[in-house]
Structure 1
Amino acid sequence: MSSDLNRTLTLGPLVLFGLAYMAPMIVLGTFGVLDQDSGGVVPTAYLLALVAMLFTAISYGRMSRAFPVAGSAYTYTRRAIDSRVGFLVGWAVLLDYFWLPTVIWLIGASYLSTAVPGVPTWLWIVLFIVLTTILNVLGLKLATNVNLLLMAMQVLVLLFFVILSFTHTSGGLSTMPFWHAGASVSGVAAGAAVAAYSFLGFDAITTLTEETLDAKRTVPRAIVLVTIIGGAIFVIASYATQLVASTVHVAHPDSAAYEIAGVIGGRLFAAVFLAGLVITQFASGIAAQASASRLLYAMGRDSVLPKRVFAFLSNRFHTPLINIAIIGFVGLIGVFLDISTAASFINFGAFTAFTFVNLCVIALAIRRRTLTGARGWLLNLVVPLIGAAVDVWLLTNLDRQAIIIGACWLVLGVALLAYLTRGFRRPPPEVTFSE
């Protein structure tokens, strides 16, 4: 089998892929949580998150140009800084993979339990886990055209939601959603720390590098465009939703957008909104659980994790059955968590990885001696330094429980690294990513 892929993708399809991966409708799924965390200024929280992600996106673009391979933050850090540091960054990213399916299932369950009060939230979570686990064990893959259909459905529902929100508010436009007397910088920072969850996946574009025409130019441009367009969608949608939210009482913050949908569009639109959100969450849950189990399999295959367990494949279905079950078990912990806390677990790993991608740009510039001229200093030092500083600031504003668990996770990673390297005396095993 040839290892060469056909280079057919251009900028437009890459941007669409990135937006589909980000799932724009997530802005409504997490609105109520962000409304509480930010103190009622969700659009401002998204603006701050956009600034942080934009600086980091530029750094991702520069690293994808230098190392056009899979593995993202893990690979960049391993090659630009040190293999041991790269291992720990990859270990931090693993926290994202563990908790992403849980957050997806939590969001879907919270909305369904609001729509059907007689069914407890935990039962919806279990149902999500059982269904997605069965489908992933069977090896089901969502085709590209199905993903595009789901993307179209998301955009349509989101567009109607925004239009109905604007038409519902008789007072017209206002600056209140961005700032008001009760708002605070600490609240905005806390909201932005969770809002960054919506941006996760913009770097997925790097996985298509080998199928992109003029990849060294096209991929970095696509990463930045996806971040800007996605951020604009999040800010506009959250602004419209905040206008309505300030005039209505929301009984269940975790599913606030569903209640608002009923206010602006009646029962029919609320049902359409719920269907769109649940279908989106279900499809995302399948993909997230499959991705997490695949990463665990890669780590088991390369002896980073116990091979006998994590590299096991089902003889019948040829899928990493044990890994899929592990991710499902982690999802069960979501029964005892809220969306904000679970999302913070993800963002701990994300902000750690984002910080090091920014530092990778600086390390690579020093090694290659490209800190020359105004452009070189700006792109190779100033931009990544700002990106890293903002990422660290947002990380410190995460839920305290998430910071504690994240720190414990990193300590566990250091212990595993010490074991694998015989006391840091030899390079750690490298995780290889293959289709």
Structure 2
Amino acid sequence: MSTTPRPTPASRQDVTLRRALGLPSLVLFGLAYLVPLTVFTTYGIVTQETGGRVALAYCVTTFAMIFTAFSYARMVRAFPVAGSAYTYSQRTFGSHAGFLTGWSLMLDYLFLPMINYLVIGIYMEAQFPAVPLWVWVVLAIALVTVLNVVGITSIARASSIIIAVQAVFIVVFVALALRAAGGVETVVNPFVGDGSVEGIGPVLAGAAILCLSFLGFDAVSTMAEEARDPRRDIPRAILLVTVAGGVMFVLLSSVAQLAAPATTFADPDSATLDVMAAVSGSWLGTFFTAAYVAGCIGSALTSQASVTRIMYVMGRDGVLPRPLALLSRRWRTPVVAIVLVSVISLLATVISLDLLASVVSFGALAAFSTVNLAVVKHYVVDEGRRAGADLVRYLVMPLVGFAMSVWLWTSLSGQSLRLGLIWLAVGIAYLAWLTRGFRRPPPEMDFAEADVESGMAR
């Protein structure tokens, strides 16, 4: 008998996303998405960019992300449905702005799985040179696709195991790195660098690239229709993931720089293997590869789950093709969207890591900027919350987050800005076609109906 899942329309009330995630599962989902070891994804690239000031760049990014995380937490309390920044922008600024925000958000969500697959290929090929990179990429895509189709509970279980493996590695690495740092003759301060690159500009450029490290908190918001208590648990999970991620990134980048003070590498994409060799020889490099590949699998699982939920909501609204909103009756997952993302992810075999990282950050910062402004519009303008404490929560803090996001956004490389603006131009052209020259609004979902169907009590 065939076990192939039979898609059914998402509008059917008997086929909905499964509410199965509590606070611990949401936090693990977010941590698995951002990957605690993701600090090593762009370590070589940002080390060269900043002259050894990766930790300082992470401090800048963490500061900006905390303000934006507060904005996400406040918006998910107002609109506890799937869709993340797309939903928040649509409800506050209208359907046209919502579409363009969702379109920008899809840029980083579509490219983030590619980063994970490419990094898996890079490190597995370094470990097993006889097997080409593309083979590892295809195998990883196949595994992640199957697990995503099977459902959200399988992702939650896998996230727990993957985070445990990375936690063990982090403890071992920090201990060995601190020991190795004691024998280093020339110390490079991770907040000052080696002096080869001067000024704050390179630090901001590095911080802009590092925004991709924090997409875990944004991803948590896309699970609103699969959380048991989204208004309470998702805001908490967003803040916990952001703070925990920032602390881990600063710690790991600092001890790595202290133990291995090099600021230039023959291959920046795999510079971490040089760091591991300096810390404790080849065996730690092997351990790192195992833990890191496991983390990338976890991040690919959660990032694919997140982007397919955004595509599911936009397909459900009719602003993307409606087949993207088809759910499997057996597993209650958006199988069409999952398969489409897997096919797109095959581009990981032909795109460079530094370009992927910059483009992902473009989409993320565009969405972050919009969510910060959405807080001001929803709470201060629409709801009239203008008391003293409310002005701090709903005006000052989101405006600081907006300013920081724009600051980092303008610090991206010219190439990533051009590609991001091309993507946005394509979205505007599609929106013009969809709305017959902006003469009518894009299709919208009835959110009141959605909340009733998902069991929410306003």
TM-score, normalised to structure 1, is: 0.87
Amino acid at match of 1:225: L
In the alignment, which of 441, 447, 453 is matched to residue 427 of structure 1?
441
1:361 corresponds to: 375
Q: Structure 1's 141 and 67: CA in aligned 2 closer, same or farther, altered over 3 A?
A: closer
1:327 corresponds to: 341
Tell me, yes or no, if structure 1 residue 40 matches structure 2 residue 55: no
Amino acid at match of 1:245: A
CA offset digits 1:108-155 (Å, max 9, x no partner): 111122223344434433443455456656779735333211111011
- Give 1:192 deviation, angstroms: 0.7
CA offset digits 1:196-251 (Å, max 9, x no partner): 111102133333588456x6555434422321121001000110011123159743
Tell me, yes or no, if structure 1 residue 272 matches structure 2 residue 287: yes
1:235 corresponds to: 250
Unaligned stretches of 5+ residues in structure 1 = none
1:203 corresponds to: 218
1:224 corresponds to: 239
Q: Is the 8 A contact 2:214 2:245 kept in 1?
A: yes
Tell me, yes or no, if structure 1 residue 258 matches structure 2 residue 279: no
Name the SS of the counterpart of 2:190 in structure 1: coil
- Give the aligned length: 431
Q: Structure 1's 175 and 242: CA in aligned 2 closer, same or farther, altered over 3 A?
A: closer
Name the SS of the counterpart of 2:36 in structure 1: coil
2:190 corresponds to: 177
Amino acid at match of 2:65: M
Taking only aligned residues, the RMSD between alpha carbons, in angstroms, comes to 3.3
1:383 corresponds to: 397
Name the SS of the counterpart of 1:200 in structure 2: helix
- Give 1:158 deviation, angstroms: 1.7
Q: Is the 8 A contact 2:31 2:245 kept in 1?
A: yes
Amino acid at match of 1:156: V
2:411 corresponds to: 397
1:412 corresponds to: 426
- Give 1:408 deviation, angstroms: 1.4
For the residues of structure 2 that align with 1:195 and 1:102, how far apart are their CA atoms?
16
For the residues of structure 2 that align with 1:294 and 1:389, how far apart are their CA atoms?
28
For the residues of structure 2 that align with 1:278 and 1:9, how far apart are their CA atoms?
26
Q: Structure 1's 18 and 293: CA in aligned 2 closer, same or farther, altered over 3 A?
A: closer
Q: Is the 8 A contact 2:108 2:364 kept in 1?
A: yes
CA offset digits 1:151-184 (Å, max 9, x no partner): 1101111221121111101268967111132343
Q: Structure 1's 403 and 139: CA in aligned 2 closer, same or farther, altered over 3 A?
A: same
TM-score, normalised to structure 2, is: 0.83
In the alignment, which of 79, 82, 97 is matched to residue 85 of structure 1?
97
For the residues of structure 1 that align with 2:329 and 2:377, how far apart are their CA atoms?
45
Q: Structure 1's 98 and 220: CA in aligned 2 closer, same or farther, altered over 3 A?
A: closer
Percent identity at matched positions?
41
Name the SS of the counterpart of 2:196 in structure 1: coil
- Give 1:78 deviation, angstroms: 1.1
For the residues of structure 2 that align with 1:332 and 1:320, how far apart are their CA atoms?
19
1:304 corresponds to: 319
- Give 1:16 deviation, angstroms: 4.1
- Give 1:45 deviation, angstroms: 0.9
For the residues of structure 2 that align with 1:421 and 1:344, how far apart are their CA atoms?
31
Q: Is the 8 A contact 2:17 2:225 kept in 1?
A: no
Tell me, yes or no, if structure 1 residue 149 matches structure 2 residue 171: no
Q: Is the 8 A contact 1:68 1:210 kept in 2?
A: no
2:358 corresponds to: 344
For the residues of structure 2 that align with 1:60 and 1:313, how far apart are their CA atoms?
27
Unaligned stretches of 5+ residues in structure 2 = 1-13
Alignment of 1:157-168 (within 5 A): 157-168=169-180
For the residues of structure 2 that align with 1:297 and 1:8, how far apart are their CA atoms?
19
Q: Structure 1's 83 and 14: CA in aligned 2 closer, same or farther, altered over 3 A?
A: same
1:63 corresponds to: 75
Q: Structure 1's 379 and 317: CA in aligned 2 closer, same or farther, altered over 3 A?
A: closer
1:54 corresponds to: 66
- Give 1:358 deviation, angstroms: 0.5
- Give 1:319 deviation, angstroms: 7.3
Q: Is the 8 A contact 1:38 1:192 kept in 2?
A: no
Name the SS of the counterpart of 2:281 in structure 1: helix
For the residues of structure 2 that align with 1:315 and 1:80, how far apart are their CA atoms?
33
For the residues of structure 1 that align with 2:140 and 2:392, how far apart are their CA atoms?
46
Q: Structure 1's 323 and 67: CA in aligned 2 closer, same or farther, altered over 3 A?
A: closer
Amino acid at match of 1:88: L
- Give 1:303 deviation, angstroms: 3.0
For the residues of structure 2 that align with 1:304 and 1:317, how far apart are their CA atoms?
24
Greater Cα shift, 174-183 or 388-397: 174-183
